[in-house]
Each structure stands twice: as C-alpha cells, then as structure tokens.
Structure 1
C-alpha cells in the first residue's frame, strides 16, 4: 500500500508540474498575440534505490520549470536548466565529471524524468551503480 501511495504522489506531482501552467490558459483569438513565446518546459524528477523504476519506490521528487525562467522545487534550478539547454534536453548527453572518484560498491539508484521539455513529451529512466556515479554523471540535474 505504501508503494502505491508513493507512486500516486509522484504521478500527482507530474500532473501538477505539466498541467499546472496550462490551467486558465485561454485560446487566443485569430490575429491576437500569444500569451507566451516560450514552449513549456516543466519536469518532475524522481530518484530512488533499486534496479528500475518499477522496483524502486521514489524517495525524492522535485519539479523543474525552465521556461521562461528557471523555477520549481529543484535546489539548483538555474544550473540544472542551463545544463539541460546545453545538451538540448538530451539526458543521455549529460557529461560525467572527469575528476570524480567513486567506489565500485553496487547500490543502484534509479532516476526518472516525466513532463515536457520545450513542448515535447519527456519520459526518461536511468539506473546508476550508486549515488556517487549518479551525481558525477548528471551534474546539477539529478543532484537533489
């Protein structure tokens, strides 16, 4: 039952982050200026221990909104948005730190991302060998 409640909370955060900015948006009349010149970029990032998201209950979840300005519950929202813009939203392209020294202890950490990046639906999952490897690989994006 606890696992179901955690997933419900994670999906609730996802819905709030993705649909929240859309509430109250009116359809523009023909010839009217759009209310925003930015494609939506609202993400919910989760992390938990386990081999995959199905086996790992989310231990922590944050929101990250990158347009028009960086905001959300992510502790380093501006840095994380800058890193994501630098790789055009490609989470696999986030570079590992060359100077990171991590142990080989296997304590898998899974991260997930759900939401919208520059108007395109995002669903991402990746498992790292341990927390140190996760922090080194993803810079500020998954450091929460």
Structure 2
C-alpha cells in the first residue's frame, strides 16, 4: 500500500513539474496572435542570354528575400521588395519605364524567377530583346541585377 501511494505521489509531482510550465505559457498566450508569423517570400532570379530559359545558360543569379525584411544578394533588395509588394508579386504587372531609352540591338536575355512569394509558389520566365530593355522594367529595379 505504501508503494502505491509513493508511486502516485511521484507521478503526480512529475506531471506537475513537466506540464505546469506548459499550461502557464499556454494560458498566457491564449487568444493572442504570435507576432513572429509571416508568409515567406524568398526568390531566386537568374539572367542568361537567349530566347528561352531552357536553352540559355544562366550567367547571373541573385537571391531576394522580402519577409520579414528585405535581404539577399539582389543589389536593390529593399526597393525591389517594395515594388513587388505594390504589385502583389505579379511579375507580369511590371511595365517599362518611360524615362529610359534603349538601343535596338537584338541580343536577347531571359530572366527566370523561382521561389515563394507570400506563401505561394512562383515560377516565372520572361525574354527581353536586350539587357537595357530588361533593366527598364519596373521602378524598383526588380530585374536590375
């Protein structure tokens, strides 16, 4: 009988010691949304010469992370992230700027974007007639790398 009482007391104290801190923290955060959660936004952008990504060898590649803060190897990460947020991550919405003049030299380049934008999978490809035209799309320099 004494052994049973001792085991019951030990089990009760162990359960209280292990589960006690968990219930306290659960009650403290109940109903409160965690501030650290965000939808991931991390992209890899590549550029290569050619009309098609399947045939073009990537010559440059940069990373662009926009959540929780703008970072990566993209040379204008903050402005590129701001522009992408403004267009909802729709790369087709990037338009050519009016203040840029490019020559007519035809040396095609292709840009690919792969990754995640605000939790959604993104895979994008676009060909431009030359690098100047590529760099003239958008105001935040998304394709300027």
- Which bracket does the TM-score occupy, shorter chain normalised? 0.7 to 0.9
Distance 1:36 1:126 in 2: 34
- For 2:67, the equivalent position in structure 1 comes to 67
Alignment of 1:40-119 (within 5 A): 40-119=40-119
Change (3 A) 1:56 1:37: same
- Can you list the C-alpha shifts for 1:14-69, whole angstroms capped at 9, x where unaligned? xxxxxxxxxxxxxxx9x696573210000000001001101101000000000110
Distance 1:125 1:133 in 2: 15
List gaps (5 residues or longer) in structure 1: 1-28
The number of equivalent residue pairs is 115
Secondary structure at the aligned position of 1:121 is classed as strand
| Cα RMSD for the two superposed structures | 1.7
State the 4+ residue runs in structure 1 displaced beyond 6 angstroms: none
Distance 2:40 2:84 in 1: 14
Secondary structure at the aligned position of 1:78 is classed as helix
- Can you list the C-alpha shifts for 1:72-106, whole angstroms capped at 9, x where unaligned? 11111001000101100000101211011111111
Secondary structure at the aligned position of 1:69 is classed as coil
Higher Cα Rg, which structure: 2
- Can you list the C-alpha shifts for 1:85-143, whole angstroms capped at 9, x where unaligned? 11000001012110111111110000000000000000000000000100011341011
List gaps (5 residues or longer) in structure 2: 1-25
Distance 1:137 1:109 in 2: 13
